Amino acid sequence: MSFPHRPVDSAVRPVPSSPQDPAGVVASPTAATPPSDDAFRAAMRRRRGGARSDTFARSELRALSALCAVYGLRLLGLYMVLPVLSLYARGLEGSTPLLTGLSVGVYGFANMLLVLPFGVLSDRVGRKRAIALGLCVFAAGSVLAGATKSIAGLLAGRALQGAGAVSSVVVALVGDVTRPRVRARAMTLLGMSVGLAFMLGVVGGPALAGELGVRSLFLITGALAVGALLLVLAAVPAPRGGGRQAEFEPAAGEIRAALLQPELLKLDAGMFVIHFALTALFVVVPILLDDLLPAYHLWRVYAPVLLVGMAVAVPTMTLAEKTRSVHRVLYGGIVLFGMSFLVLRFLGDGLAGMVAGMGVFVIAFGLLEPTLTTLLTRFTTPQSRGTAAGVFSMSGFLGSFLGGATGGLLLESQGALFLVLAGLALPWLLLSLRMRGLRGVARPEPPRRADIPPGAGAD
């Protein structure tokens, strides 16, 4: 396809673009030679900041880099504390097994309650202001959790951390500052920042706790939040129009469909289960491992488990998307999910059994969470996807809260907890086998908007 010819004076040479001449060519009514298609495209790329329509413009890349750093810094502190939190909470004044579990899960409860209000607030006052407010609240909660000597103070600090529920606002801002053609890629990069923060935090947190103490980890978390706040103020652009976009506005029918559609409810149940199990594990596993090796050596367990798990999960997901067999990954992941807790129940008395069970769980988690997100895009339209993703994320946060509480209640009966978690796999598998439209699902077409928070429910 060629562009319409425009008369150009042959004696006039192309000059750099200007506001009056966006294509970089001076027009004349006596032209003999039109500009070539390649020259026209190059001029339009210069006008857009040097980017082709399917690549990031420089302005997009700068904004996305800053937002990935903000998202990652906030989560890095959370993940540093998570592997040693139950050990720390158990030794505080007034602690009980239930309160120990709640200290891990209460963050998810507060996040679940406030993630949607923060989204509404960002529509009214702007994304940057909402993110800045949330980071201030999060930093205050981190300082409170690090300063307290009682379990009540730790619960209040963790709840305040969760009240700074800005993850969905960051995701929305990524959608505001990127074009639809590159938005799916932007979501992938944001998700990579979550994965990197998780690996660095879970591995580095126990080592730092051994050197500095768990209280210092909370203070470091607060400092990281302040660093993220400075990045927001200095490096993150404010989107035009304040960030409000009509395509983010859910209609009443879309909300009803997201809440009542059977296939989406099954995906929400899956999101609930995997985050229920993940949080329960982070309550009991550090205490079990504490009997086998010092807390500051926990990274020696977490590091190989995470590396092996991701080494298996990532290529498996890639192959499944290419061969249109994501449904098999879902079924297999649920089976591995159940097997991991049977291994922990019957072989978890020694370090080798603990590592094996956790390794199988990490593989299952690495397969299931991206699969559930992929299927969410399969069963929603662009108009309803944002609302469905909000319910999906809240299911994960609710699972985190109840998983922490259940882990605390069964803290002295870990074998029973592992059997409960293994038992969740069977009804989940039966529900998944009854889902319609699973076969032949491959990678979904890029969504038109940034509506699925990477690692939703995990923080």
Overall average pLDDT of the 420-433 stretch:
95
Does position 237 have pLDDT exceeding 60, yes or no? yes
Q: What is the pLDDT of residue 240?
A: 65
* Residue/partner pairs of 438-444 with CB below 8 Å, 24 or more apart: 438/326, 438/327, 438/330, 438/375, 439/324, 439/327, 440/324, 441/324, 441/326, 441/327, 441/374, 441/375, 441/378, 442/321, 442/322, 442/324, 442/326, 443/321, 443/374, 444/374, 444/377, 444/378
Domains and CATH numbers, the chain: 1-46 (no CATH), 58-249 (1.20.1250.20), 254-446 (1.20.1250.20)
The tokens for 382 are 């662009």
Residue 93 pairs in a beta bridge with 150
Is residue 126 within 8 A of residue 68, CB to CB? The reply is: no
Does position 280 have pLDDT exceeding 90, yes or no? yes
Does position 452 have pLDDT exceeding 50, yes or no? no
Which of 180-194, 300-314, 433-447 has the least mean pLDDT? 433-447
Does position 380 have pLDDT exceeding 50, yes or no? yes
Does position 41 have pLDDT exceeding 90, yes or no? no
Residues 275, 404: Cα–Cα separation, whole Å: 10
Q: What is the pLDDT of residue 9?
A: 42
Q: What is the pLDDT of residue 447?
A: 41
Overall average pLDDT of the 230-257 stretch:
66
pLDDT in tens, 54-72: 788 888 899 999 999 999 9
Residues 357, 344: Cα–Cα separation, whole Å: 5
Q: What is the pLDDT of residue 7?
A: 44
- Alpha helices, DSSP H, located in 379-455: 385-409, 414-433
Ramachandran quadrant class, 441 (left: phi over 0; alpha: psi -120 to 50; beta: rest): beta
Overall average pLDDT of the 325-333 stretch:
89
Which of 22-26, 136-140, 208-212, 280-284 has the least mean pLDDT? 22-26
Share above pLDDT 70 across residues of the chain, in percent, rounded to a whole number = 77
